[in-house]
Amino acid sequence: MRMTTLVLGGARSGKSAFSENLVETSGLKPHYLATGRAWDGEMQDRIAEHRTRRGPQWTTHEEPLDLAGALSRLDGPGNIILVDCLTLWVTNLMMEDRPMLAEFDRLVNAIGATSARLIFVSNEVGLGIVPDNAMARAFRDHAGTLHQRVAQVATQVYFIAAGLPLTLKG
């Protein structure tokens, strides 16, 4: 049976570590699909920290834009693909002025066509104050729309706070 998991939470809530544990206990071949771009030293350090924590058994792939295509290329029934993270993907799409809803449709269609187990990590950004500028509001709205779309097709959805998972679905 196809299984798709969405893991949401705030920054530094423990989402990635929780998701990596799901992968490591699955018995499947682990693939890490990174959407982030190392624009500065801080991001380079975060990427290095995540790589060290995962270890050599993981195969890392970087894809900042074509997430649907990457899922298709990595597909296979013995694979588990951890996508970290959807909010960085939304940022990349916005910076490239991509058609957001069309990209979301492509991703949801790819999820439905994939036989690999999928785990998506994303930052929940809709719990705070209303952003004070149009771009930040658009980002929040796009992320919320994407989360709803992925949660709808996911078999499991978790919200992580202080490293503790709350099951929302599944």
Cα separation of 47 and 64, whole Å? 14
Catalytic entry in 31, 50, 142, 147 = 50
DSSP at 129: P
Q: Is 50 a catalytic residue?
A: yes
pLDDT number for residue 56 = 86
Helix axes 100-113, 67-74, angle to 10 degrees: 10
DSSP at 137: H
Consecutive H or E run containing 30 = strand 29-34
Tokens of 159: 């919200």
DSSP at 130: P
Mean pLDDT by runs of 10 across the 170 residues of the chain is 91 94 96 88 79 85 96 96 97 97 98 97 93 95 98 98 97
pLDDT number for residue 1 = 57
